[in-house]
Amino acid sequence: MALKIVKGSIDRMFDKNLQDLVRGIRNHKEDEAKYISTCIDEIKQELKQDNIAVKANAVCKLTYLQMLGYDVSWAAFNIVEVMSSSKFTYKRIGYLAASQCFHESTDVIMLTTNQIRKDLSSPNQYDTGVALTGLSCFVTPDLARDLANDIMTLVSHGDCVKRKRCSVLIMYKVFLKYPESLRPAFPRLKEKLEDPDPGVQSAAVNVICELARRNPKNYLSLAPLFFKLMTSSTNNWVLIKIIKLFGALTPLEPRLGKKLIEPLTNLIHSTSAMSLLYECVNTVIAGQYCSSVGSVVLCVQKLRILIEDSDQNLKYLGLLAMSKILKTHPKSVQSHKDLILQCLDDKDESIRLRALDLLYGMVSKKNLMEIVKKLMLHVDKAEGTTYRDELLTKIIDICSQSNYQYITNFEWSVSQPVTPHPPGISVSWWTIRVFAVAQMATLLDNAHLLTGSMQRNGICEVLYAAAWICGEFSEHLENPLQTLEAMLRPKVATLPGHIQAVYVQNAAKLFATVLKSQEGNTDSTTAQETSQLMIDRLPLFVQSANLEVQERASCILQLVKYIQKLQQKDVEVAEEVIALFAGELNPVAPKAQKKVPVPEGYLDLTPPSESESEDEQPKAIFAKEEPKHSRPRHTEVDEKELARRREARKQEQANNPFYIKASPSSQKVYQDAPGVEHIPVVQIDLSVPLKVPGLPMSDQYVKLEEERRQKERAEKKKKEKKKRKEKRSGRGKKHDSGPESEEDITPAHMVDIVTEEMPEVRCVSLQIQFSTSRIFNELSPSSFWVFNEKKSSKHKKKKQKKEKEEKEKKKKKKKHHHHHHHSDGGGEESVQNGTVEEEEPLPVSVYDIQGNLQDGSQVVVSVIFENKCDSFLKSMEFNVLDSLNSKLQRPEGSGPHDGLTVPFQLPPGVSNEARFVFTVQSIVMPQKLKGTLTFIVKNEDSSTHEKLDFKLHFTCTSYLITTPCYSDAFAKLLESGDLKGSSVRLEGVNMPFHHLLARICFHHHFSVVERIDSCASMYSRSIQGHHVCLLVKTSGQTVSIDAKCDEPTLLGNVLDEIKQTFSQC
Amino acid sequence: MSLTTHFPLCFLFSLFQMQFMLLFSRQGKLRLQKWYVPLSDKEKKKITRELVQTVLARKPKMCSFLEWRDLKIVYKRYASLYFCCAIEDQDNELITLEIIHRYVELLDKYFGSVCELDIIFNFEKAYFILDEFLLGGEAQETSKKNVLKAIEQADLLQEVRHRMKSK
């Protein structure tokens, strides 16, 4: 020993050891690279010596240098040498160096196989230990293949607990590299799950959990074993793993979810370990489709505690988990809005961003204003440009998203689809207009800095909005000239075309504002300079490749040139120029506006909420072609005057069949009024909404809807099925049940906003007929047909055409029955129909289909599944046989014939709605899609697998979108000569002309352009932008329809469908 | 249990729980690195550089988690050292924090109130402790006492010379 010490100190005299190296590097801060290169030279010398101690020392130093980023791959062979030393001290260093420096492409690794095998089987457990550790870092497929058996031996026969544990863990690495080894090894691994040593057991749990997470299917059979472990284990680390494993298994076996909910809830209640709590909550959230609402509420409560905690980490994770819940249970999260808003004040930016994300999803009609206001405050305070940008983007997102909600909820939309300015901003107009204008101006000013990154992530849409806002509300700009200058920078030409177009248009508005502000000024240089600026810069846009930009720019350029001429003659032009862009901005939702306290000083901006009439241009943007007279803004609105006007308007609306009443209450008043009871029509029309859900275009429909609902309600009450019905009818129905939820305000809004309708979300008239048994037609067809005849003429026709095409394969003893409901496009105004109850008890389930149509080529079909039998329905799978033209959209990775799982189960008497998206290529032909629904019927004693066939009927009408059109635009369209004509003649139509029009509007999604006596022009647009124009004339009982459309096939089919509608009455 | 189906190719490249662990100083100097995924040196360097920058740029009061590429980064600062781990999306951040903390406790026990210099000069010891605690990114031994016992016994095996040096 003494000799060794002496020898060691001699070594030390000649060699640097690791500590010396580290010290040296620290002392040579200025010329570190140079110092290290001399060190490396020394190391190379040392490696050439035979003394293993010197070599190990050199390798140790190399490992350090490797960490500093120096290449040491040249010493790989020396590392192997050190690894194979018989002394543990050196072996350990060798393995450490190898684990740090080796990777799969290191070729000397194959030289190590035998050495590692020797070490694994070494009687010294520490040798085995370092070998396993090293192996875990540099195992290659070859090593895994060659050593799998040795490791297996360790697993099963290892006498040392520690070695066993390590080898179990290392097996996972081996499986990853050499999957073939898994099959023979698995039984032994499974054994280890019940190993008496908790360490080995937890290692096995670890490995199997990791394996199962990658490929859960193969591990389902282990669920009972893990379940046992979970309820018995007290080791949090193991519990977390097991819970994670169950998280992966539950989607494959929904029954597990039910079983798990109890132990998970217990853990959530009892555990003090946050990590375990968090894992449980996450698993419950992820598997919540099978968990109860109660457990979600519990999770939200626990998360609230996390978020309230002063620990930033818990706060962050709480918010993260919240956002996961938000996706499925928005209601339960929304009640914690206060808390989330508080988080916006947090000093940690990442927490604020998480909170922002959450807010985005939490916005509702009620809280939008509050949230946006609060956010605006934060924009003010925000330091750091990234955060501020993020805030602004989020505000705009939040607004536009909520407007989207308006659209779906209230069937509300903007009349001109060509101007989809982020409408959200207009929502918050009244409170933040000035602020927004200032912000947007800044944004525009800085746009050149941001465009690069903006274009990439799509934030440039913000500029679109910003430009529009600055133009529209240019009177609020502090320095319009500067903004104008910013908008005309050459850089703008790099923006997408649609944004440039808005820039050009709004530059003109700004120009007008500048002129106006310079009007009184005796010195006209500024005005003239501005004109010159426009003339200088606009040619850039005139050359644009984008047609819209080009057109607008050249138009405005000519205008400005003309103005310049006038200016030179000292003519006052500002008034006229301003007049080009005059006109009020339509309020987004008069009700919403009323709810907002009008800040002082802004009263003048607020147009009287109902002052908009149908024929007004909603936006000044496109009013240019036909300049209107500047309408003086209402400076002071006299209460009485307002009341008087309102009265007059109401009167006018009451007489206008195309105006939907302002609110439910006024509807009722109207209903009671004597002169307007069109009872016979009511009866005929009653059935109609069944078939073609669409926009109720006239008050008659709203009224009959109201009546029908009342009738229905009475009927329902009698049958005590109210509960079920409310569920089924969804949102629209709630409006009957008194104002308690947010949606309650919807109907009122919906009718309010009729002035400008551009239903973005349209309904497809989808006809689905289900009957639940094949004996249906034998047992109760007559009653069914009678019902159809009575209630639903159109419905019946379709049905007849289909002629029992749809037969069900199911066997049930009892009678069967049809049931149909339709909700119209937006989904909130549920045009329910055919709530027909038959004497017979209902067997299994009744289905309804609603369709929603969105832009382009996508069709959303909503299906209401209702379980009318006494058994439990589960594992429902919806599948449609795709045609070439229409395809059901399936999640990525699934085959073209895979069904879609309906994401819920149905206890008896419950209904639920699922949505399916279809892509449609051509819309000119109607078509039917065949489909099947498979499901499991579960009774107390048995369960059977059942199948229902059905058909989806996509009519051409369903592709039309009610689009208002103005008579001059209509005339232009007809003159253009692009449209092909066709006509149809209907005989024996016995109904007042305005009912006839209303019927066409309602069923076929047209809008009346103009009506003169017994002649009317109508217009509609398809989702793919085809124009359809109708000229309807009536004389006696004959109705002739002349139609024009740019797509003759589509037109033919639409006319056929119209004909059909009327042949049924 | 039938495992007849071969694992998909992606399975081979799928990753274990902890991807890597980095220790670096406030100045951005790397003090320790442990990779549980096979990556080339170039990639490792790139990741290290990016992460060190990202983490150092964060303000002291910020929470310990960040999303980076498709990974989650969990980091914690102890005195002048940052401990930084990368985990996968479904992994538990809090347990990772516990692992970091447990490792710091082990270092603390072994060196006796550990400081950055201990780790610099005895970096191989720091690795040995880590290896004893984590194997392939998984905690192999959850008991502090056992880890330290194992390390001490392994140290005993080393020659006197070596022990003297490390003290």
DSSP-assigned letters across all residues of A709-723 = HHHHHHHHHHHT-HH
Report the complex ipTM: 0.86
The predicted-structure confidence for A241-252, as pLDDT tens digits, reads as follows: 888 888 888 878
Chain-centroid distance, C-alpha A460? 20
Min Cα separation A276/chain B (Å): 8
State the pairing for strand pair A1027-1035/A960-961.
Answer: unpaired
Q: In what order do the strands lie in the sheet with A886-888?
A: A845-853, A858-867, A911-920, A886-888
The predicted-structure confidence for A142-182, as pLDDT tens digits, reads as follows: 888 888 888 888 887 666 666 677 777 788 888 888 888 88
- Separation between Cα atoms, residue A297 and residue A304, nearest integer Å: 10
| Half-sphere exposure (Cβ direction) of A327: Cα atoms closer than 13 Å | 10
Q: What pLDDT score does A14 carry?
A: 54
Beta bridge partners of A1018: A1008, A1030
**Mean residue pLDDT across chain A:** 68
3-state DSSP percent of chain B in helix, strand and coil, to 5? 45, 20, 30
| DSSP annotation string for B25-88 | ETT--EEEEEESS---HHHHHHHHHHHHHHHHHS-TTS-SEEEETTEEEEEEEETTEEEEEEE-
> Which among B92, B118, B125, B158 is the top mutation candidate for probing chain A, defined by the most A β-carbons within 10 Å of its own β-carbon?
B92
- CB count in 10 Å sphere of residue A414: 23
Q: What is the mean pLDDT of residues A1006-1035?
A: 84
Contacts of A437 by beta carbon, 8 Å cutoff, 6+ apart:
A469, A470, A473, A474, A476, A477
Two tokens, residue B82: 């940052």
Going by the DSSP 8-state scheme, the letter that residue A800 receives in this structure is H
For A411, phi and psi rounded to 5 degrees?
50, 40
Min Cα separation A340/chain B (Å): 16
Is residue B6 included in any domain, yes or no? no
Q: What pLDDT score does A424 carry?
A: 41
Q: What is the mean pLDDT of residues A315-339?
A: 84
Residues in B touching A176 (Cβ below 8 Å): 11-12, 14, 16
Does residue B134 contact residue B18 with C-beta atoms inside 8 Å? Answer: yes
Tally DSSP H helices, then E strands, for chain B: 7, 7
Inter-chain touch B123–A67, beta carbons under 8 Å: yes
Q: Can you give the length of chain B in residues?
A: 167
For B71, phi and psi rounded to 5 degrees?
-110, 165
Chain A residue closest to B62 (CA)? A348
Q: What is the mean pLDDT of residues B85-94?
A: 87
The predicted-structure confidence for B34-84, as pLDDT tens digits, reads as follows: 988 878 888 888 999 999 999 998 888 888 898 888 889 999 999 889 999
Number of domains in chain B: 1
pLDDT category of residue A105 using cuts at 50, 70 and 90: confident
Closest by Cβ to B14, choosing from A103, A214, A348: A214
Q: Which domain holds residue B98?
A: 18-166
Residue corresponding to tokens 């929603």: A852
- Separation between Cα atoms, residue A606 and residue A588, nearest integer Å: 11
The predicted-structure confidence for A810-857, as pLDDT tens digits, reads as follows: 333 333 333 333 333 333 333 333 332 333 333 333 343 434 445 567
Which region, left, alpha or beta, applies to residue A544 given φ > 0 means left and ψ of -120 to 50 means alpha?
A: beta
Closest by Cβ to A312, choosing from B61, B94, B140: B61
Closest by Cβ to A22, choosing from B6, B120, B160: B120
Inter-chain touch A179–B12, beta carbons under 8 Å: yes
> Which among A16, A22, A89 is the top mutation candidate for probing chain B, defined by the most B β-carbons within 10 Å of its own β-carbon?
A89
Task: Give the domain CATH number at B44.
Answer: 3.30.450.60
Does residue A1041 contact residue A986 with C-beta atoms inside 8 Å? Answer: yes
Is residue B155 included in any domain, yes or no? yes
Closest by Cβ to A244, choosing from B11, B90, B154: B90
- Separation between Cα atoms, residue B143 and residue A202, nearest integer Å: 13
- CB count in 10 Å sphere of residue A558: 12
Q: What is the mean pLDDT of residues A864-881?
A: 79
The predicted-structure confidence for A224-272, as pLDDT tens digits, reads as follows: 888 888 888 878 888 888 888 888 888 787 778 778 888 888 888 888 8
Inter-chain touch A136–B38, beta carbons under 8 Å: no
- Separation between Cα atoms, residue A153 and residue A147, nearest integer Å: 10
- Separation between Cα atoms, residue A1043 and residue A1059, nearest integer Å: 13
Is residue B87 included in any domain, yes or no? yes
| Of A507-511, A730-734, A916-920, highest mean pLDDT | A507-511
Inter-chain touch B1–A218, beta carbons under 8 Å: yes
Inter-chain touch B12–A348, beta carbons under 8 Å: no
Q: Compute the C-alpha angle A219/A223/A227, nearest 5°.
A: 145
Residue corresponding to tokens 């040579």: A28
- CB count in 10 Å sphere of residue A482: 14
Which of residues A337 and A754 earns the better pLDDT score?
A337
Does residue A959 contact residue A1033 with C-beta atoms inside 8 Å? Answer: no
- Tell whether A100 lies on the interface with B, counting CB pairs under 8 A: yes
Does residue A314 contact residue A279 with C-beta atoms inside 8 Å? Answer: no
Inter-chain touch A136–B95, beta carbons under 8 Å: no
Is residue B10 included in any domain, yes or no? no
Does residue A323 contact residue A354 with C-beta atoms inside 8 Å? Answer: yes
Going by the DSSP 8-state scheme, the letter that residue A853 receives in this structure is E
What is the SS3 assignment for B18?
strand
Q: Is pLDDT at A634 greater than 60 in this prediction?
A: no
The predicted-structure confidence for A924-958, as pLDDT tens digits, reads as follows: 888 888 888 888 888 777 778 888 787 777 787 77
Inter-chain touch A349–B59, beta carbons under 8 Å: yes
Min Cα separation A97/chain B (Å): 9
- Tell whether A186 lies on the interface with B, counting CB pairs under 8 A: yes
Q: What pLDDT score does A595 carry?
A: 53
Candidates A380, A388, A328, A321; CA nearest to A352 is A388
In chain A, positions 206-225, which contact chain B (CB-CB < 8 Å)?
206, 210, 213-215, 218-219, 221-222
Does residue A810 contact residue A779 with C-beta atoms inside 8 Å? Answer: no
Contacts of A904 by beta carbon, 8 Å cutoff, 6+ apart:
A289, A876, A912, A914
Inter-chain touch B36–A137, beta carbons under 8 Å: yes
H/E segment holding residue A190: helix A182-192
Residues in A touching B39 (Cβ below 8 Å): 103
Min Cα separation B154/chain A (Å): 7
Two tokens, residue A1056: 């056929």
Is residue B92 included in any domain, yes or no? yes
The predicted-structure confidence for B108-122, as pLDDT tens digits, reads as follows: 999 888 888 888 888
In chain A, positions 327-366, which contact chain B (CB-CB < 8 Å)?
347-351
Tally DSSP H helices, then E strands, for chain A: 46, 14
Min Cα separation A41/chain B (Å): 21
Of A154-163, A331-340, A1021-1030, the least confident: A154-163
The predicted-structure confidence for A670-720, as pLDDT tens digits, reads as follows: 333 343 333 333 333 333 333 333 333 333 444 444 555 566 556 555 554
Closest by Cβ to B3, choosing from A105, A170, A218: A218
Which stretches does DSSP call E strand in A709-814? none
Is residue B8 included in any domain, yes or no? no
Cα–Cα distances in angstroms (integers) from residue A424 to residues A405, A436, A587, A602, in the given order? 10, 12, 12, 19
Question: Model-level pTM?
Answer: 0.51
